[in-house]
Amino acid sequence: MSYRLRMLVERLGGQLFGNAEIEVSGIAPLDTADASHVTFLSNSKLRASAAQTKASALILSPADDGELQHAYGGARIVTDNPYAYFARVAQLFAEQSAIPVQRGIHPAASVHPDAQVDPSASIGPHVTVEAGARIAAGAVVDAGSFVGREAVVGEGTHFHANVSFHAGCQIGRNGIVHSGAVIGADGFGFAKEKGAWVKIPQTGRVIIGDDVEIGANTTIDRGALSDTVIEDGVKLDNQIQIGHNCHIGAHTAMAGCVGVAGSAKIGKYCTFGGAAMVLGHLTIADNVHISSGSMVSRSILEPGQYTGFYPLAKNADWEKTAAIVRNLGTMREKIRELEKTIKTLTQEK
């Protein structure tokens, strides 16, 4: 199915300049788009590519439109947030090819008689749903997933294949949990006694809000005593580790391989680049942005961008720098002694 440009603007807003009756059948990047596509410009550094794109229509910001309205010959949709507009256009086209969900319980699923599954939910083959679990209206649970006893899955939430959602955990409406994610496994809790480790029972839950997306193979540990909490709108990429008793504020987003140690409290609207690490028991304020690969070793109480790593260098250069850093304390003391000597000599003159 194709859309006329006026139909897109009627549904999504924005200002349309050019032929409103142009039909587009998909969305594509600037360099691969052709006359059947709409494309978008979200990075002003790519204005030259936008001017040369073969797409029939271009989504762009007012500032970029001012620069490109004469250089680009196609129709233009002007909006304050071209990247978000692109995402919504992409959703429209994706809906056309989506496979309809089959509602009900698959014959190969194992659902305990005491579990509550709404008739509009979809339970795929080889799914296990234990006693006391509640699956709400519209929820979709794909093949091979596990839903523990007394768990709660909200309306419209989708579990992809092989998700493990353990006992007592809860997730709100319209969530997406990708394949291999494990929600509610035991946190890493042990006490040392006479050289051996004594396990601390992990009796808390994982409580997840509405509109949360959890990537493939991401793990969120249940709390030791109190709950691990993931607030509304949080987006977690693949292979992320969230430790027990963490609290992640609403609309925070984390890229792949981020690790958050236990009992860390992270504010709202934060972002974490790939492989960033957060030590346990720290507090991070709202609107904090952590660069990729950074190690957060202290609490951050003010919003802003934070970075903590050495720039990449050739190994030999890096080793020299590391040697200098190791000796900074000694160098500082020598400099202080030199300053004292210079001061004494100056006074004697």
pLDDT at 186 (0 to 100):
96
Query: Using an 8 Å Cβ cutoff, are 189 and 200 in contact?
Result: yes
pLDDT at 349 (0 to 100):
64
Q: Average the pLDDT over 310-324 and give the result.
A: 85
Residue numbers annotated as active site: 244
Q: State the Cα–Cα distance between residues 18 and 8, nearest whole angstrom.
A: 14
- Tokens representing residue 186 in the block: 């035991």
- Tell me the per-residue pLDDT of 251-265, one tens digit each, with 9 for 90 and over: 999 999 999 999 999
pLDDT at 318 (0 to 100):
84
pLDDT at 308 (0 to 100):
86
Q: Which long-range contacts (CB under 8 A, 24 or more apart) does 201-206 make?
A: 202/244, 204/228, 204/244, 204/245, 205/168, 205/169, 205/170, 206/166, 206/169, 206/170, 206/230
pLDDT at 147 (0 to 100):
95
Report the candidate in 147, 155, 104 with the shortest Cα–Cα distance to residue 127.
Answer: 147
Phi, psi of 303 (to 5 degrees): -65, 160
Pairing of strands 247-248, 146-147: unpaired
| pTM score over 0.75 | yes
- Tell me the per-residue pLDDT of 204-244, one tens digit each, with 9 for 90 and over: 999 999 999 999 999 999 999 899 999 999 999 999 999 99
Task: Tell me which residue has tokens 């919003």.
Answer: 303
pLDDT score of 117 more than 80: yes
- Tell me the per-residue pLDDT of 93-110, one tens digit each, with 9 for 90 and over: 998 888 888 899 999 999
pLDDT at 227 (0 to 100):
97
Q: Average the pLDDT over 107-129 and give the result.
A: 92
- Tell me the per-residue pLDDT of 135-179, one tens digit each, with 9 for 90 and over: 999 999 999 999 999 999 999 999 999 999 999 999 999 999 999
Task: Give per-residue burial for 219-231: e unless 16+ CB within 10 Å, then b.
Answer: bbbbbbeebbbbb
Confidence of residue 344 (pLDDT cuts 50, 70, 90): confident
pLDDT at 63 (0 to 100):
96
Range with the largest mean pLDDT of 114-118, 222-226, 251-255, 310-314: 251-255
3-state secondary structure of 90: helix
| Least confident among 40-49, 159-168, 206-215, 318-327 | 318-327
pLDDT at 300 (0 to 100):
96
Percent of the chain with pLDDT over 70: 100
